[in-house]
Amino acid sequence: MARLRLAIKKDNALQFLSHLDFARAVRLIVIRADLPVLYSEGFNPHMKLSFASALGVGVAADEEFMDLELAKEIPVDDVMARMNEKSPLGFAVLCGKYIDQKAPKLMAGGQLCRLYLTRPRDGEDYGKRPGTVITVI
């Protein structure tokens, strides 16, 4: 068993996917990459895959983290190449490393987030600038 921590990128092309849809897309990438991933036991097994945090709809990430549990250790470069080859536009694996099984879960660690918000210039129409937040609640 090997636990792999990956840094991934969720670009503007995928920013409007919900967290559940994004997680489903990542599971499909792992399946298509033919990685020896582990599944939970029980009646309805799930892929052992977890994310540091759930990104909101409309949020892109230059670097987000996920853990993936594999049945055997394979080279990180191979995992990255296979996943990037099968990934849709807007998703990329940036780097990764194997971590100890006893290492804290991603959700248990402290989180730092840097947000970049864009706003239109004076007189510019909100709807004509791609990637602009139109309303904030």
Rounded to whole angstroms, how far apart are CA atoms 34 and 16?
27
> What is the C-alpha separation between 111 and 120, in angstroms, rounded?
29
pLDDT at 64: 87
Least confident of 7-11, 19-23, 35-39, 123-127: 123-127
Alpha carbon distance 22, 54 (integer Å): 9
Higher pLDDT, 42 or 128: 42
Domain ranges, ordered by start, for the chain: 2-100
Share of the chain above pLDDT 90, in %: 47
Q: Which pLDDT band holds residue 96 (cuts at 50, 70, 90)?
A: very high
| Strand residues in 11-60 grouped as ranges (E) | 49-51
Q: Domain 2-100 is in which class? A: alpha beta
8 Å CB contact between 52 and 65? yes
CA distance 17 to 40: 25
